[in-house]
Amino acid sequence: MGSDLHSRSPASAYKVQSREVRLAPTLGSHVLDFTSWAHDLSGSNTFPAEIAMTFHFPFTNSYARLPERFYARVAPTAATAPKLIKVNRDLALELGLDPDWLTSPEGVEIIAGKRLAEGSEPIATAYAGHQFGNFVPQLGDGRAILLGEVIDQAGKRRDIQLKGSGRTPFSRGGDGKAALGPVLREYVVSEAMAALGIPTTRALAAATTGETIVRDTLLPGAVLARVASSHVRVGTFQFFAARGDTEGVRLLADHVMSRNYPHAPGAERPYRALLDAVIAAQAELIARWLMVGFIHGVMNTDNMSVAGETIDYGPCAFMDAYDPATVFSSIDRLGRYAYGNQPQIGLWNLTRFAETLLPLLNEDQEQAIGEAQEALSTFAPLFQRAYNEGLRKKLGLFTEREEDAALAGGLLSAMAQNQVDFTLLFRRLADAQVEGDGDEAVRALFVDPAAYQAWVPGWRARIAAEPQDIATRRAAMRAVNPAYIPRNHRVEAMIEAAVAQGDFAPFEELLSVLSRPYDDQPEFAHYAQPPAEEERVHATFCGT
């Protein structure tokens, strides 16, 4: 994406100060660039006549029932000659949709935003956000449109949103469109995350629009139909808080509680329960990211879902060799969102979230701040527990001991010093429980194999203290240590084939391999390999 979209941010009182997290008492002192975007709409609240209505989506919309200032009503526009790339059949069924109908010409027109399904109330939602630490009071869905919500087979409410479906009142200088490459990347990586068992938005379908869009070069335009448990972000709360619209914050909080945290309204202090729940969900989520080497890349507050799902896959990437300082995103020049910074940034973002809730936490501001701080102080221990627990499982430990964190830490620092592939190491370790058995495959991952030799006896002694046999431990380790992650060089090659040659076979194959990340799949063993030097991806670009 044009990095100018990110840097075009008004001055803000919020800067990352020596990386420490602090709770600012109030947002009231901001000088706000309040743009009345509703005025930009001029007539777009009615849809063009050529948009045909059709059936088949059992929409039941709740966000569109919130006050008008929460969104702009706007129809999708980008598709001229839509062509289907893919329908996620399993997800369609989960949502109670007919996958065959979705692949029909009518279904494809809906996926690409050329036709509106009956019951759809398309809206672009308003939000604000801290981008790289700078507050922008108005962002909003500039290239996304929420078609509506459906109740899935499990009774859960899910959003169906189009990404790349044309301009909205929030587009600012942007064209509202998405290029094929980033659409395919989000499709593959979000589905890989789901298969890994990590909370995430999902990809329901993708289509090319028939349009050529202008980036650094001319590129095919595409639309992603995305599914989420909510598209409400920390930045959505900030949008209202920054305007002093406490009623808006309250309505939004009530909406999020009833949708995502149904226990909260009945709690003694409902808004505190909401804050606690969002903090816990993020602590867990970020720990899960670290366990698979995932780097979100743009953890701005507008890219953090309050439902605890990974959202907005832009210049995201998976680490090959373990190094906590790893950054791929071309727009993250200072490494703010490096792999190892993600927990800290998570807390920073949650602190911004807590600030928006202050007026709801307590009428007395001092008390409210105290409550917010109390809630925020749970993040570090919750994260640490989830992280330690995750590492213990990766190491095949069934019980918990105090020295386990040091054991894991020793391995990680040896890995960092020896450029060891994160995914391969843990996958192979399952086969090295006994000396001489599979050792060579693990040792070969280290630049200096002595580092492995020095670490491994401690691990063997530790697992020997547990009663589980080798086969049991191997199965447990393989169930948490994937063989397949979306390696960057594979993702880039897949995009290149689709964009340059119109060849979607690598996309299909990658998607299929990644749908079973914990299975060996010997015929696809090459997908488990790290990049050769010349295949290595050094930078990823934002998801426009």
Applying CB under 5 A, which residues contact Mg ion? Answer: 303, 312
Work out which of 122, 137, 140, 297 binds ligand AMP, going by CB under 6 A: 140
**1 interacts with ligand AMP by CB under 6 A:** yes
Cα 281 to the chain's mean position, in Å?
Answer: 13
- The rounded distance, in Å, linking the Cα atoms of 311 and 18 is 27
Catalytic residues: 302
Q: How far, in whole angstroms, is CA 226 from its chain's centroid? A: 12
| Bridge partner list, 165 | 177
Closest residue to ligand AMP in the complex (CB)? 174
Selection from ligand AMP, Mg ion, none that 159 binds (CB < 5 to 8 A by kind) is none
Least gap, CB of 312 to Mg ion (angstroms): 4
Q: Does 542 bind ligand AMP (CB under 6 A)?
A: yes
Site stretch for ligand AMP (CB under 6 A), options 174-182, 401-409, 483-491, 528-536: 174-182
Within a 13 Å sphere around the CA of 518, how many CA atoms are in the beta-carbon half?
16
Q: Does 308 bind ligand AMP (CB under 6 A)?
A: no
Smallest gap from Cβ 302 to ligand AMP, in A, equals: 6
Closest to Mg ion by CB, 252 vs 442, is 252
Of positions 175, 323, 355, 439, contacts ligand AMP by CB under 6 A: 175
Spatial CB neighbours of 140, under 8 Å, sequence gap ≥ 6: 37, 72, 124, 125, 126, 127, 168, 169, 170, 239
Q: Which residues of 494-517 are buried (b: 16+ CB within 10 A; e: fewer)?
A: bbebbbeeeebebbeebbebbeeb
Residues numbered 4-63 forming contacts with ligand AMP, rule: CB under 6 A: 5
Residue 113 interacts, among ligand AMP, Mg ion, none and using kind-specific CB cut-offs from 5 to 8 Å, with: none
Phi/psi at 253 (5° precision): -60, -45
Instruction: Please give the Cα distance from 276 to 336 (Å, whole number).
Output: 25
Using rule CB under 6 A, residue 297 touches ligand AMP: no
Q: Which does 350 bind (CB under 5 to 8 A by kind): ligand AMP, Mg ion, none?
A: none
- 171: contact with ligand AMP by CB under 6 A: yes
Q: Which stretch binds ligand AMP (CB under 6 A): 77-85, 135-143, 245-253, 509-517?
A: 135-143
Report DSSP letters for 251-288, one per residue. HHHHHHHHHH-TTGGGSSSHHHHHHHHHHHHHHHHHHH
- Helix or strand run (H / E) with residue 219: strand 218-228
Residue 141 interacts with ligand AMP (CB under 6 A)? Answer: yes
Whole-angstrom distance, CA of residue 398 vs CA of residue 387: 15
Is 232 near ligand AMP (CB under 6 A)?
no
Number of residues that bind ligand AMP (CB under 6 A): 22
Pick 1 or 274: Cβ nearer ligand AMP:
1
In the bound state with Mg ion, the residue whose beta carbon lies nearer, of 136 and 456, is 136
Q: Which residues share a beta bridge with 87?
A: 205
Q: Which residue in the block uniquely carries the two structure tokens 């406490």?
A: 246
Residues in contact with ligand AMP by the rule CB under 6 A: 1, 5, 139-143, 170-171, 174-177, 298, 300, 302-303, 312, 314, 542-544
